[in-house]
């Protein structure tokens, strides 16, 4: 592993929503997107009957047998608004933007740019609804540990390690170490949640694709409620990632000792003291996200358009203003 404590950081999942005043406007937005994809011949387009209903119609965007994204037309009744009781929207979700499969990753990014450029070029507003930010660490998952140093009230957290204080095996079913201990309903309604997992193993098990090197991914999932309450800014994203401390241990015994001390801590002050002592004694390396990659990527998607020659173009870093971001449109 590279001893540099700044870790490459990527966006793995991105969700955006286009709000529409009428059913006709929603149909127009949907058709614009589908037409642009048919013209570029980037992906296969398939209606997902199983996930669709009267109020929500889902179209899958496929690269071979892999789903790269979905476009969904949604509608629900707004009983609190007598003048405009029908609420229409188009949801677009991109999955697995960083799989370490060159062809799929290239197709995913091109797909995202094509859709964003189509929306921006036609001045169609959209906002963020989901964002998964991933720190990718070139190391075995056994050598990495993540703790939440700024815990939220009324949220339960898993103890660190594979076994709890009563000797019960925890989180062993899929090899993913969740930070927050949430029910299915809580997961859906949470503003954010985080987890650590073996990315190499996941790609091998799920897609039969071997990355070729050890890779552990720490992922922070910012969900719909987060973007309802928070505007998209660089500082807000930094705060969301800053709730967690990611550690690399060369010595597994030191990791085990830290887990014991951390799990025995009774409050936030004691837990922070345990982390500080660990780092002061150089028993672990503190890993920090390289968020500039994320900021640049989101700036590009937020402002990307197509010029007269059909090439993508985006607003330069020095000309970009968070306060004017389409991601914050209500």
- Burial label for 172, CB within 10 Å (0-12, 13-18, 19+), is exposed
- Whether the Cβ atoms of residue 16 and residue 325 lie closer than 8 Å to each other: no
Which of the four pLDDT bands, split at 50, 70 and 90, describes residue 288?
very high
Q: What percent of the chain has pLDDT over 70?
A: 95
Give me the half-sphere count of Cα atoms (radius 13 Å) on the Cβ side of residue 184.
0
On the question of pLDDT at 270 being above 70, the answer is yes
- Whether the Cβ atoms of residue 87 and residue 80 lie closer than 8 Å to each other: no
Which of the four pLDDT bands, split at 50, 70 and 90, describes residue 166?
confident
Query: By C-alpha distance, which of 270, 7, 311, 43 is closest to 135?
Result: 7
pTM: 0.92
Q: What is the pLDDT of residues 27-46, one digit of tens each?
A: 999 999 999 999 989 899 99
The confidence score (pLDDT) of residue 4 equals 56
Distance CA 140, CA 78 (A): 49
The domain spans of the chain are 6-324
Which of the four pLDDT bands, split at 50, 70 and 90, describes residue 207?
confident
Q: Which of 131-135, 168-172, 226-230 has the lowest mean pLDDT?
A: 168-172
């Amino acid at each position: 592993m590279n001893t540099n404590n700044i870790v490459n950081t990527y966006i793995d999942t991105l969700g955006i929503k286009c709000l529409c005043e009428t059913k006709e406007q929603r149909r127009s937005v949907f058709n614009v997107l589908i037409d642009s994809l048919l013209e570029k011949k980037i992906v296969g387009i398939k209606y997902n009957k199983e996930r669709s209903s009267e109020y929500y119609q889902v179209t899958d965007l496929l690269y071979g047998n892999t789903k790269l994204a979905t476009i969904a037309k949604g509608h629900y009744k707004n009983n609190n608004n007598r003048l405009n009781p029908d609420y229409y929207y188009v949801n677009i979700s991109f999955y697995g933007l960083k799989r370490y499969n060159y062809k799929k990753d290239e197709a995913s990014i091109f797909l995202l740019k094509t859709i964003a450029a189509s929306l921006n070029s036609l001045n169609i507003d959209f906002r963020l609804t989901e964002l998964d930010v991933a720190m990718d660490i070139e190391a075995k998952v056994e050598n990495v540990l993540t703790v939440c140093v700024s815990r939220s009230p009324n949220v339960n957290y898993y103890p660190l390690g594979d076994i709890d204080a009563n000797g019960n095996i925890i989180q062993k079913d899929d090899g993913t170490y969740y930070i927050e201990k949430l029910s299915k309903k809580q997961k859906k309604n949470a503003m954010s949640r985080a987890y650590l997992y073996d990315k190499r193993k996941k790609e091998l098990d799920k897609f039969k694709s071997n990355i070729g090197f050890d890779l552990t991914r720490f992922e922070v999932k910012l969900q719909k409620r987060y973007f309802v309450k928070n505007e998209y800014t660089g500082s807000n994203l930094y705060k969301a990632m800053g709730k967690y401390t990611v550690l690399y241990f060369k010595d597994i015994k030191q990791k085990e000792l830290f887990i014991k001390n951390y799990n025995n801590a009774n409050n936030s002050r004691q837990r922070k003291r345990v982390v500080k002592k660990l780092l002061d004694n150089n028993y672990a390396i503190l890993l920090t996200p390289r968020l500039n990659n994320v900021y640049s990527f989101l700036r590009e998607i937020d402002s990307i358009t197509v010029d007269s020659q059909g090439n993508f173009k985006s607003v330069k870093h020095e000309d970009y203003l968070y306060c004017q971001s389409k991601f914050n449109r209500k």
